[in-house]
Amino acid sequence: MPRSETPLRSDLFPEISPYASGMLALDGRHTLYWEQSGNPEGQPVVFLHGGPGAGSAPVHRRFFDPQFYRIIVFDQRGCGRSMPLGDLHDNTTPHLVADMEKLRVHLGISRWLLFGGSWGSTLALAYGLKHPDRATGFILRGIFLGGRSEIDWFLHGMRMIFPEAWREFAEQLPEHERTDLLGNYYRRLVDRNPDVHRPAARAWSRYEAACSTLYPTTRAPFESDHGGFALALSRIEAHYFVHGTFVPEGWPWTELGRIRHLPCTIVQGRYDVVCPPVTADALARNWPEARYVIVPDAGHSALEPGIRAALVNATESYRLSMSDDAMFAPRFPWETA
């Protein structure tokens, strides 16, 4: 039966600045931007941004109580402030998992809480399954598992809900190329000519942004830097989609037993069009120990009011659970027991 309890907290924590940051050399080509904020002696939590390719932002520090958490935020290789921006060389899911482990060791962290949404949920699970002894738990939002059906939905299925946005996306390509949106977008996005890749990058990022919230926003995505972050997002995203996100089809169902003993909260917007609830539902059914929160009035974005409230409530529940047996107790009226 539904539980009716007062949320622990309904909005983000105040803005904070990092107390440390740096660039970590990953190999002879890639360097990774990282930062830490909050309590240097607190519970480590790592924020995993979406995309792949989106990069992190200052607001991502604000999901966590800075008095309790040691907050680690970083830009995945090729993203944000990591260099080189938009680079696809040795950019795969196993590389990103290895990067996280290298960062953990670099920062002297024994175990950390994994917090990721959208593509970040994929990466959190990939890391957790590879290094279950290094995870203290999971907070996952807008579940994406990298399956072919999910990629096809992004490229074609979202037109059922957002036909105008999809039409603008598709019509960026000549008519004879629209039978292979992914292949022909990818070909443009990896082209070195800015007159070829920039229009494709902006069209891709506009399409994704237009479908990401329940209510329309006027924000122009990834354009304040003259298209650099739009190119990183779209190029890396297309690269991962072309290669099936570098995870085996059917993953992660046969491996979940390695992490089901760890606490997990799954937060999903009911009207998430980018990552529809069917995937979160499947994960929750295969991980019955997890707390599953459906937010009834939200889409995909982590910053929609209901989503951010549920995510902050999850981090607060985890904080309280450190001295309470009721790990991740339900707190919202719409949750099921």
Return the structure tokens found at 107: 């920062």
| DSSP string across 147-172 | -HHHHHHHHTGGGGT-HHHHHHHHTT
131 classed as catalytic = no
Instruction: Report helix, strand or coil for 141.
Output: strand
Query: How many Cβ atoms sit within 10 Å of the Cβ of residue 90?
Result: 15
Rg (CA), the chain: 19
Candidate list 82, 300, 301, 317, residue with the active-site label: 300
Please, which residues bridge with residue 73 across strands?
35, 47
118 is catalytic: yes
Spatial distance between the Cα atoms of 322 and 136, rounded to a whole number of angstroms: 11
3-state secondary structure of 103: helix
Separation of first and last alpha carbons in the chain: 6
| Nearest-angstrom CA–CA distance, 6 and 218 | 32
Query: Does residue 75 have an active-site annotation?
Result: no
Please write down the HEC assignment for all residues of 244-304: HHHCCCCCCHHHHHHCCCCCEEEEEECCCCCCCHHHHHHHHHHCCCCEEEEECCCCCCCCC
| Distance between CA atoms of residues 300 and 275, nearest Å | 7
Q: Which of 82, 118, 212, 234 is catalytic?
A: 118
- Determine which one of 87, 95, 272, 301 is catalytic: 272
Answer whether 85's CB lies under 8 Å from 232's CB.
Answer: yes
- Strand-pair category, 31-38 with 69-74: antiparallel
Question: Do 289 and 260 contact (CB within 8 A), yes or no?
Answer: yes
The set of catalytic residues is 118, 272, 300
